[in-house]
Homo-oligomer: A and B are copies of this chain.
Amino acid sequence: MLNLQTICLGVLYSGSKSGYELHKIINTDLKHFQTASFGALYPALGKLEAKKFIVSDGKKNPIQTSSLPKKIYTITENGRAVFEAQILKTRAEEKLTSDFLAAFHFAEHLPAENIAALIDSQSAKLQEEYRDLISTPLSRMSEGQRFGIRYTIAINRAATAFLKGEGRAIQATLSRRLPKG
């Protein structure tokens, strides 16, 4: 699986950025397949720098208080080569972890109101994701990126349609159960 280091190389490939900017890009543009917290991002950048895959212009000297705290990372030639090799050997792999589906798997332990809440909340999340996806400006985006967005939208729509069609039905069915005792 592609790890955060490789993702960072990929984002830095198209231009130098600070850790903070990288964080923003990953958690907006790449949100549908990757996220990163600062606690994951900074150590990843540190490791990439140690391996000479990226360089920074940072003044890490704490005495120089007047210097900008902002540190711009730039990918090296070595880094580019490593990224290209990595992305070339990438296989179609996906891993979903879903509390929504897990909760339904064990739904016999849930009262009807919780079932309803889960479906409503999942629908809302899908709607929010949908808004994010369609609001992304398609210009300045590569063909591959557009393809990924459209793929994700197709899945999002199917999920929403399913919940709209069958969500009420399952709520009704599960409400008819005998209360556990």
Contacts and interface: CB of A to CB of B under 8 A. Distances in A.
Given A96-B94, A97-B95, A144-B107, A102 B154 contact: no
A41 interface: no
A143 interface: yes
Interface of A: 1-2, 7, 10, 13, 30, 32-35, 83-84, 87-88, 90-110, 114-115, 118-119, 121-122, 125, 142-145, 147-148, 150-152, 154-155, 157-159, 161-163, 166, 170, 173-174
A101 B157 CA distance: 17
Q: How many copies does the complex hold?
A: 2
Contacts of A114: 88
A13 B10 CA distance: 45
Contacts of A10: 102, 105-106, 109
B102 A7 contact: yes
**Which of A34, A35, A157, A174 has the most CB atoms of chain B within a 10 A radius of its CB?**
A34
Given A97-B1, A101-B148, A154-B159, A92 B121 contact: yes
A144 B174 CA distance: 8
A92 B125 contact: yes
A167 B154 CA distance: 13
Given A144-B106, A159-B154, A166-B147, A90 B96 contact: no
B92 A100 contact: yes
B109 A83 contact: yes
24 contacts: A10-B109, A13-B106, A83-B109, A88-B109, A90-B102, A91-B99, A92-B100, A92-B103, A92-B121, A93-B98, A94-B98, A95-B98, A104-B145, A104-B148, A105-B148, A107-B142, A107-B145, A107-B147, A143-B173, A147-B166, A151-B159, A155-B162, A158-B158, A158-B159
